[in-house]
Amino acid sequence: MSTIISTLKESGDENRVAITPDVAAKLVHNQFEVLIEKGAGQNAYFADQAYEDAGAKVVSRDDAISKANLIAVVDQPDSETLSKLHEGQILIGLLKALTDLDGIQQLAKQKVTALSFELLPRTISRAQGMDVLSSQASIAGYKAALVAADKFARYFPMMITAAGTAKPAKVLVLGTGVAGLQAIGTAKRLGAIVSGYDVRPASRGEVESLGAQFLTSSVSAVGEGGYARQLSADEQQKQQAELIGFIKQNDIVITTAQVPGRKPPLLVPQEAIDNAKPGSVFVDLAASDLGGNVAGSKTDQTVVTDSGVQIIGAGNLASEMATSASEMFSKNVQAVINDVSDKDAQIKIDLEDDVMSQLVATDHGEIISDRVRKALNLPDKQPAKAETVPADTDEESAEKGDQ
């Protein structure tokens, strides 16, 4: 019997979908049965008919939940949806494993195997094709430069006209990871004078290769896993003092510094905003319920100061480019499925594997991820022995999932 993979329509303002028609067709070709909740791809401009043409079945939400062996989502579903999941199912997506600890514990209690993309070990080469954080950050960085250009009251490039010459905008990007580099490249292509700032000196080559000036701090914060480490209070204060001078010289500031599961570092204090040029634009990609990189930023809102400085809380820009973002996200999901399935389309998760041992948050009622266990003040756990997920959901399990 074939393994059933489904995806759900996202809630709220989330426009992305976890499986696109193109990937659905590939999964069907690989002998999986694919179920798509009716309207799941609508906000990303993927019609139900496109899924049916790809060989998938368009079904109700209840069927997409109860009949699936593996459910792919973009964001952690709401508690009502989680309550319908049942033992033996696999849930994969951005499950907020390090911040929504109640949700993760609920999944463990229901004996659902949860694969949370935030936990993926990004420095392992085999995991690069699964790296949702990078694929979505790339889109967010690109979009951030476009948002800034749209909101800025002047040209980005130098313009020579019969009425005079317009000076190019000066753009400063704080944080030169995937999102930051994409923002730098896009702003540069728009004709701005661009600088990139990072506390990791090794980033210089990447920034300069894009034609931007590299700025750094006397504070070094080289960390593990592809991230900068969290700064101490003294280091953060020193860094902010240095940044204030850089910020004052620029018209646009795009901030991208995030630490998964923790409050984002405050890179732009109120003093920097007060000293910014009138009409300056700050785009904060780290804006979230945990805070942001810019003082006063509010997620999904634009704050305008008395001097006309705009602070844009842009924590989910990938959703605003839903088609491209979904295509990338879906390929990341497919990469995981390919990694954990055999030639007979049966799913087997090896908890001793160097990638899966970290990606898996919960399995068979246990919290597997040591990072999640640490957040819950639990001792480290040795990886459990891998087990094969049954191909089909039996009626008894389905009934329990609907309760």
Annotated catalytic, 122? yes
> Residue 90 to residues 97, 162, 261, 323: CA-CA distances in angstroms?
14, 63, 22, 25
Instruction: For the chain, give the number of residues.
Output: 403
Q: Which of 63, 105, 122, 346 is catalytic?
A: 122
Question: Which of 227, 195, 198, 232 minimizes the C-alpha distance to 210?
Answer: 195
Annotated active-site residue 128? The verdict is yes
DSSP 3-state of 119: helix
Q: Nearest 5°: CA angle at 211, between 209 and 213?
A: 100
Q: Which helix (H) or strand (E) holds 173?
A: strand 170-174
Q: Which residue is catalytic, options 75, 131, 284, 363?
A: 131
Helices vs. strands in the chain: H and E counts, helices first: 14, 19
DSSP code string of 21-55 = HHHHHHHHHTT-EEEEETTTTGGGT--HHHHHHTT
Pairing of β 213-215 and β 252-255: unpaired
227 is catalytic: yes
Task: Find the catalytic residue in 110, 134, 288, 341.
Answer: 134
- Choose, from 2, 42, 83, 128, the residue flagged as catalytic: 128
For residue 262, indicate whether it is catalytic.
no
- Pairing of the two strands 360-363 and 348-349: unpaired
Residues known to be catalytic: 122, 128, 131, 134, 227
